[in-house]
Amino acid sequence: MEHLDEQEREQVWNEVEESLKEGKIDQFRAEFLELHPYDQAKIFEELDEPLRKEVYMYVSPEEIADVMEHVDDVDVEPYFSEMDPRFASDVFSEMSSDDAVDIMNRLDKDKVASFLTIMGKEDAQEIKDLLHYEEKTAGSIMTTEYVSLRASMKVKEAMEHLRVEAPDAETIYYTYVVDEEKKLAGVISLRDLIISEPEWTIEEAMSDRVVSVSVAKDQEEIAQMMRDYDFLALPVVDFQNHLLGIITVDDIMDVMDEEASDDYSKLAAISDVDGPNDNAFISAKKRLPWLIALLFLGSLTASLINQFEDQLNQVAILAIFIPLIAGMAGNTGTQALAVAVRGIATGEIRKQGKGRMLLREASTGLITGVVCGVIITLVVYVWQGNFFLGALVGISIMSALIVATIAGSFVPLLMDRMNIDPAVASGPFITTINDLISILIYFGMASAFMNFLV
């Protein structure tokens, strides 16, 4: 089973499409099912609805469940809508419970209720239990398909227990140990289990130094923890330390991708990243709230420029440097914002301290401001032959860059302190704020230099 590049996938897609159109069931199954589920999902996404319905006829719910676990969650709703409800419910039954919940959270609630009604009682109850947890918490991304061992078990009993239960578990490389009250007591790796003496108890072979997370813990914090400790899985417990489920590394990779997309959308001042299937009205709906807010904020900049109309009338050339100063302030503010948001997201700022980070950014702003200020002073002096005009623009840019850099790093830190997602201090927001600051600095300096310019 090899990974396919784009060209190979397109070739296989053509073969699969031809087999479907010609009704060659055996050939289709041979070509399609020998692929890795990821490649199956990518090919499946390229098929139109009539051909997808053919696929549902030729594959089992278990086989299509593997495909659905690799399909982009954003686009999954139409697939389950076009399936026969019984077939769709069987697909959910065959999926990992955490993956099924991820998809169901994107579906219409009435459809979810219908699927759960059709599903087997045990599978439906397992999914219902996970659906109750708040989104983006440990409870919402954990799986209940794990194997636990009792501390009082003999090693040989545990091995037999694993042999029976492993086919339905997400992972057995690390197995969590519970006491008689089903509280988390320790962890044992498959390697340690294999090399332990058969007559030992699990309590003798396990490690009681086990790291766990609360069921209500934020998924982003869990992703950082798994990255820092290189865990393959993490146990999830309630407030009394009862083992509820586990979070596996593949789930965390999905979380990291989701969080990165979420932060990107906020940095771009979009309520959510536009999906490839969104029409123009849906895309506009996602973008308009921020744009309207920024429109009113931007009007303050226009109003501020109007307050300095007299200076512009006396020295009209001042107007041509407004975009330069505002643009430079916006750029450096966005750079500082990106560094701050990344530092908060990765936990680096907590390690080095917020004060130290602010001091570093202020120093960076000072250095970049001085260098850019000197350069633009010389450029304007050579271009316009007016040293005072060059000094005005240079000092304005230097001051604007220093203030913008500090603002770009301070605003997300302030929001983080207020328990607000720092990513909402988006690029356009910081840029607009810095426009106001830079214009105020520029015309304030112009007023001071006015006697030298007229």
Q: 335-374 pLDDT, tens per residue? A: 888 788 777 766 667 666 778 888 888 899 899 999 999 9
Q: 285 pLDDT exceeds 80?
A: no
CA distances from 370 to 276, 364, 374, 452 (A): 44, 10, 6, 22
What is the Cβ-side half-sphere exposure of residue 57, based on CA atoms within 13 angstroms? 12
- One-letter amino acid at 401 equals L
| Per-residue confidence (pLDDT) for residue 42, from 0 to 100 | 85
Strand, coil or helix: what is 19? Answer: helix
171 vs 246: CA distance, rounded Å = 9
**Hey, what are 309's tokens?**
């109309």
Q: Domain ranges in the chain?
A: 6-141, 148-250, 280-453
Q: 237 pLDDT exceeds 90?
A: yes
Tokens 């766990």 correspond to: 212
Report the CATH fold assignment for 148-250: CBS-domain (3.10.580)
**Hey, what are 174's tokens?**
């690390």
How many other CB atoms are there within 10 angstroms of residue 57's CB atom?
A: 10
Q: Could you tell me which residue, 400 or 316, shows the higher pLDDT?
A: 400
Q: 47 pLDDT exceeds 60?
A: yes
Q: 306 pLDDT exceeds 80?
A: no
Q: 273 pLDDT exceeds 80?
A: no
Percent of the chain with pLDDT strictly greater than 70: 83
| Strand locations in 49-195 (E) | 148-150, 174-178, 184-189
| Longest CA pairwise span in the chain (Å) | 97
Taking the CA atoms of residue 279, residue 282, residue 283 and residue 289 in that order, the dihedral angle to the nearest 10 degrees is 160
| Per-residue confidence (pLDDT) for residue 246, from 0 to 100 | 92
- One-letter amino acid at 58 equals Y
DSSP string, 220-285: HHHHHHHHHHT-SEEEEE-TT-BEEEEEEHHHHHHHHHHHHHHHHHHHTT-SSPPPTT--HHHHHH
Q: Could you tell me which residue, 182 or 275, shows the higher pLDDT?
A: 182
- Which residues have C-beta within 8 Å of that of residue 53, sequence separation ≥ 6? 82
The angle at the Cα of 203, spanning 141 to 172, to the nearest 5 degrees, equals 35
Mean pLDDT confidence for 422-432: 65
C-alpha torsion sign, points 373, 378, 384, 390: positive
pTM over 0.75: no
Q: 20 pLDDT exceeds 70?
A: yes
Domain 6-141 has CATH 1.25.60.10: yes
Strand, coil or helix: what is 149? Answer: strand
The angle at the Cα of 304, spanning 301 to 307, to the nearest 5 degrees, equals 155
123 vs 1: CA distance, rounded Å = 30
Q: Report the first-to-last Cα separation within the chain, whole angstroms.
A: 77
Q: Identify whether the C-beta of residue 167 lies closer than 8 Å to the C-beta of residue 277.
A: no
Q: 272 pLDDT exceeds 80?
A: no
Q: 184 pLDDT exceeds 90?
A: yes
451 vs 182: CA distance, rounded Å = 82
- Which residues have C-beta within 8 Å of that of residue 11, sequence separation ≥ 6? none
| Per-residue confidence (pLDDT) for residue 423, from 0 to 100 | 61
Per-residue pLDDT tens digits for 148-179: 999 999 999 999 999 998 888 888 888 999 99
| Per-residue confidence (pLDDT) for residue 259, from 0 to 100 | 64
| Per-residue confidence (pLDDT) for residue 262, from 0 to 100 | 61
| Per-residue confidence (pLDDT) for residue 361, from 0 to 100 | 86
CA distances from 363 to 76, 257, 353, 367, 431 (A): 48, 33, 16, 6, 20
Q: Identify whether the C-beta of residue 216 lies closer than 8 Å to the C-beta of residue 140.
A: no
**Hey, what are 327's tokens?**
């643009």
Q: Could you tell me which residue, 440 or 283, shows the higher pLDDT?
A: 440
Q: Identify whether the C-beta of residue 180 lies closer than 8 Å to the C-beta of residue 237.
A: no
Assign 86 a pLDDT band (cuts: 50, 70, 90): very high
Helix intervals (H) in 119-200: 121-131, 138-141, 155-165, 190-195
Per-residue pLDDT tens digits for 122-143: 888 888 888 888 888 888 889 8
Tokens 């219409």 correspond to: 108
In sequence order, what are the beta bridge partners of 183?
A: 242
How many other CB atoms are there within 10 angstroms of residue 442's CB atom?
A: 27
Assign 207 a pLDDT band (cuts: 50, 70, 90): very high
Q: 441 pLDDT exceeds 70?
A: yes
Question: Is beta strand 233-237 parallel, antiparallel or unpaired with respect to 243-248?
Answer: antiparallel
Domain 280-453 has CATH 1.10.357.20: yes
127 vs 181: CA distance, rounded Å = 24
